[in-house]
Amino acid sequence: MKYSPTKKIVIAIDGFSSCGKSTFAKEIAARIGYVFIDTGAMYRAVTLYGLRHGAVQDGDVNEALLIAMLPEIEITFAFNSERGASDIFLNGENVEKRIRSIEVSDLVSKVSGIAAVREQLVRQQQQLGRQKGIVMDGRDIGTVVFPDAELKIFMTADPAIRAQRRYKELEAKGEKVSLEEVERNLRERDHADQTRAVSPLRQAEDAVVLDNSHMTLPEQMDWVMRRIEKITCAPCTSK
Ligand SMILES: Nc1ncnc2c1ncn2[C@@H]1O[C@H](COP(=O)(O)OP(=O)(O)O)[C@@H](O)[C@H]1O
Ligand SMILES: Nc1ccn([C@@H]2O[C@H](COP(=O)(O)OP(=O)(O)O)[C@@H](O)[C@H]2O)c(=O)n1
C-alpha cells in the first residue's frame, strides 16, 4: 500500500549496543523518504579524532585535552547511494569505516560520558532534526535530543544474539576480533552507557519497546509501519 502521510514526524530509536538500531533506522528512512542520522557514529568520530591527536591514549581519555580540541572537530554527513545511507565525515574525511574498529568501540563510551562532548553533538543533532522528517538512532534521542518526538522506540535483543550479530559483521569486514572480545565490549559499553552521570541510556516513558531477538527486518518493518501510519496518516484515514 502507498504511504501517503499528512505530516512529517521525528522518529527516535534508542537502545542497547548492536541490536540493529541503525539497520532498522536506515530501512525506515528509505521506506518513507526520511533522513537517517546515526548519532553513535558522531561519538565514534570524536573518539577517532582524540585517538589521532593524543587526547585518547593507552585506553584512557584526557578529558581537558579533548574538550580543548572540540572547536577543531567538524562532523558532516553525505548520502552514499551505494550504501543507501549517509557516510560520516570528520573534518572533510570520510571515516565511515574507520570509526567501526574495536579500538574505537573500546573507548567511545568514555568519550560519550563527557558532558561537553554531548552538549556539542546534541546541539548539532537538534539542528539536523529541526524540520522533522528524520529517523535518529542512539542512546538519548527520545529522552534528551528530541523529548517531543512523535514516535519513540526502545530496542533491545538478547545479549548473546547481539554479540553474535556484531561478531559476524566484523568478521565479514576482515577485522581480527574474537567473539569473546565483542561480547566483552558490548557488556562494558551497555554498563557504561546506562550508568554514566550525563544522559544515561534509559527507556523514555512514552517509548514502545521492540525486542528483535527473533525478528527479521521485514517483520520489524511491518511492526513499525503500522505505528508510523497511525501517527502520520490519521487525519486522512478518518475521512
Ligand atoms: N533483525 C535482525 N536480525 C538479524 N540481524 C540483524 C537484525 N537487525 C540488524 N542485524 C545485524 O546486526 C548487526 C548490528 O546491527 P546495527 O544496525 O549496526 O546495530 P546497532 O545500530 O544497534 O548497533 C548488523 O550486522 C546487522 O546486519
Ligand atoms: N546518542 C548516543 C549515541 C551513541 N552514544 C555512545 O556512542 C557509543 C557508540 O554508539 P553506536 O550506536 O555506534 O554503537 P553500536 O550500538 O553500533 O555498537 C555508545 O556505546 C555510546 O557510548 C551515546 O552516548 N549517545
Domain ranges of the chain: 10-218
Task: Find the 42 Cα to ligand 1 centroid distance in Å.
Answer: 18
Cβ atoms of residues 207 and 142 within 8 Å: yes
Assess whether the C-beta atom of 104 lies below 6 angstroms from ligand 2: no
Please write the tens of the pLDDT for every residue from 207-225.
999 999 999 999 999 999 9
Please write the tens of the pLDDT for every residue from 29-81.
999 999 999 999 999 999 999 999 999 988 999 999 999 999 999 999 999 99
pLDDT at 88 over 50: yes
Q: In this structure, what DSSP letter does residue 237 have?
A: H
Euclidean distance between the first and the last CA atom of the chain, given in angstroms as a whole number: 18
Helix (H, G, I), strand (E, B) or coil at 9: coil
pLDDT at position 239, please?
40
Helix (H, G, I), strand (E, B) or coil at 59: coil
16 annotated binding-site participant: yes
pLDDT at position 40, please?
98
Assign domain 10-218 to a CATH class.
alpha beta
Task: Report the predicted TM-score, pTM, of the whole model to 2 decimal places.
Answer: 0.96
pLDDT bracket for residue 4 (50, 70, 90): confident
pLDDT bracket for residue 1 (50, 70, 90): low
79 annotated binding-site participant: no
| Mean pLDDT score, 225-238 | 80
